[in-house]
Structure 1
Amino acid sequence: MDIMAIVNQINSILWGPVMLFLLVGTGVIFTYKLRFIQIRKLKIAWDQTFGGLFKKSDKADADGMSSFQALTTAIAAQVGTGNLAGVATAVAMGGPGAIFWMWISGFFGMGTIFAEAVLAQLHTERVDGEITGGPAYYIKKGLGSKFLAGFFAVSIILALGFMGNMVQSSSIAESVLVAFNIPKIVTGFIVALLVGLIVMGGIGRIASFTERVVPIMAAFYILGSLIIVLMNYDMILPSLRMIVVGAFNPMAATGGIIGASIKEAFRYGIARGLFSNEAGMGSTPHAHAVAKVKHPAEQGLVAIMGVVIDTGIVCTLTALVILNTGAFSSGLFGAQLTQEGFIRGFGGFGSTFVAICLFFFALSTIIGWYYFGESNIKFLFGKKGINWYRIIVLVCIVVGTTMSAEIVWELADTFNGLMVIPNLVALLGLASFVVKVVNDYEENFTKDKPSTYQNS
Structure 2
Amino acid sequence: MQDLIDNIYNIIWSDALVYLCLLAGVYFTIRLRLPQLTQLREMVRLLFKGSGSEKGISSFQAFSLAISGRVGTGNIAGVATAIGMGGPGAVFWMWVIAFLGSASAIIEASLGQMYKEVSDGEYRGGPAFYILKGLQNKTFAWTFAIVTIASTGFLLPSVQSNSISTAAETAFGLSPVLTGILLSGLLAIIIIGGVKRISKVAEYVVPFMAGAYIIMALVIIGLNITEVPTIIALIIKSAFNAEATFGAVAGTAIAWGVKRGIYSNEAGQGTAPHAAAAAEVSHPIKQGLVQGFSVYVDTLFVCTATALMILFTGQYNVEHPDGGFIVAHLPGIEMGPAFTQHAVSHHFPALGGSFVALALAFFAFTTIMAYYYIAETNVSFITRNGGKIWLIWMLRVLILGSVYMGCVSTAKSAWTLGDIGVGLMAWLNLIAIIFLHQKVVLLYNDYNKQKKAGLDPTFDNEELNLPNMKTWSKKSKLS
CA apart distance, 1:263: 2.5
Give, in whole Å, the separation in 1 of the partners of 2:274 and 2:429: 13
What are the superposed Cα offsets for residues 408-432 of structure 1, whole Å, 9 maximum, x if unpaired?
Answer: 1111111211111221111011111
Picking from 353, 359, 362, the partner of 1:360 is: 362
Matched, 1:439 2:445: yes
1:208-223 mapped onto 2 (5 Å cutoff) = 208-223=200-215
Structure 2 equivalent of residue 417 of structure 1? 423
Partner of 1:162 in structure 2?
Answer: 154
Name stretches of at least 5 consecutive residues in structure 1 with no aligned partner: none
1:444 CA displacement: 2.6
Aligned residue runs from structure 1 range 322-333, under 5 A? 322-328=310-316, 329-331=329-331, 332=333, 333=335
Would the alpha carbon gap of residues 376 and 250 (structure 1) be closer, same or farther in structure 2, given more than 3 Å must change?
A: farther
* Correspondence for 2:396: 390
Q: Secondary structure at the match of 1:354?
A: helix
**CA distance in 2 between partners of 1:263 and 1:381 (Å):** 45
| Post-superposition offset of 1:6 | 3.6
Verify the 8 A CA contact 1:250 1:265 in the aligned structure 2.
no
Task: Look up the SS of the partner of 1:131 in the other structure.
Answer: strand
Instruction: Give the RMSD, CA atoms, in angstroms.
Output: 1.8
1:356 CA drift (Å): 0.6
Q: Deviations over 1:52-96 (max 9, x none)?
A: 7xxxx54x64x1111100000000000000000000000001100
Tell me the equivalent position of 1:15: 13
Could you report, residue by residue, the CA deviation over 1:280-300 in whole angstroms, capped at 9, with x for unpaired residues?
A: 000010000111111111111
Matches for 1:228-247 after TM superposition, within 5 Å: 228-247=220-239
Query: 1:47/1:27 Cα in 2 relative to 1: closer, same or farther (>3 Å)?
Result: same
With over 3 angstroms needed to count, the CA separation of the structure-2 counterparts of 1:50 and 1:330, relative to structure 1, is farther
Counterpart check, 1:226 vs 2:218 = yes
Q: TM-score, normalised by structure 1?
A: 0.94
Amino acid corresponding to residue 308 of structure 2 in structure 1: L
Q: Is the 8 A contact 2:101 2:267 kept in 1?
A: yes
Corresponding letter in the other structure for 1:262? A
1:91 pairs, out of 80, 83, 95, with 83
CA distance in 2, matches of 1:137, 1:186: 39
Q: Partner residue of 2:174? A: 182
Of residues 376, 384, 388, the one that matches 2:378 is 376
Q: In structure 2, do the counterparts of structure 1 residues 372 and 450 end up closer, same or farther at CA, with 3 Å as the change threshold? A: closer
**Do 1:295 and 1:453's aligned partners in 2 also have CA atoms closer than 8 Å?**
no
Please state how far the C-alpha of 1:362 moved relative to its aligned partner: 0.8
The 2-side partners of 1:185 and 1:402 are apart by 6
Counterparts in 2 of 1:421 and 1:221: CA distance versus 1, 3 Å: same
Q: Give, as a single letter, the amino acid of the residue that structure 1 aligns with 2:290.
A: V
Q: 1:137 maps to what in 2?
A: 129
2:266 is matched with which residue? 278
Offset of 1:250 from its aligned partner? Answer: 7.2
SS of residue paired to 1:430: helix
Match for 1:376: what amino acid?
N
Q: Do the aligned partners of 1:149 and 1:422 also contact (CA within 8 Å) in 2?
A: no
Q: Is the 8 A contact 1:228 1:346 kept in 2?
A: no
Which of 113, 123, 126 aligns to 2:118? It is: 126
Identity %: 40
Deviation at 1:211, TM superposition (A): 0.6
AA matched with 1:198: I
After superposition, the Cα gap between the structure-2 partners of 1:71 and 1:453, relative to the gap in structure 1 and judged at 3 Å, is farther
- Three-state SS of the structure 2 residue aligned to 1:294 is coil
Query: Is the 2:237–2:243 Cα contact (8 Å) retained in structure 1?
Result: no
Q: Give the deviation of 1:450 after TM superposition.
A: 7.8
Match of 1:93, SS? helix
Task: Report deviation, 1:193.
Answer: 0.8
SS of aligned partner of 2:408: coil
- Distance across 2 between alignment mates of 1:424 and 1:302: 20
Which of residues 97, 120, 125 is equivalent to 1:105?
Answer: 97
Q: In the aligned structure 2, how far is the partner of 1:394 from the partner of 1:6?
A: 25
Q: Paired residue for 1:24? A: 22
Q: Which moved more, 1:5-14 or 1:116-125?
A: 5-14
Amino acid at match of 2:184: A
Stretches of structure 2 that go unaligned for 5 or more consecutive residues are 317-328, 463-471, 474-479
Further displaced range: 398-407 or 83-92: 398-407
Distance of aligned partners of 1:260 and 1:408 in 2 relative to their CA distance in 1, 3 Å threshold: farther
1:248 and 1:262 in contact (8 A); partners too: yes
State the Cα distance separating 1:23 from its structure 2 match.
1.2
Aligned residue identity for 2:240: F
Give the total of aligned pairs. Answer: 444
Is 1:77 the counterpart of 2:79? The answer is: no
In the TM superposition, residue 208 of structure 1 has moved relative to its aligned partner by 0.8
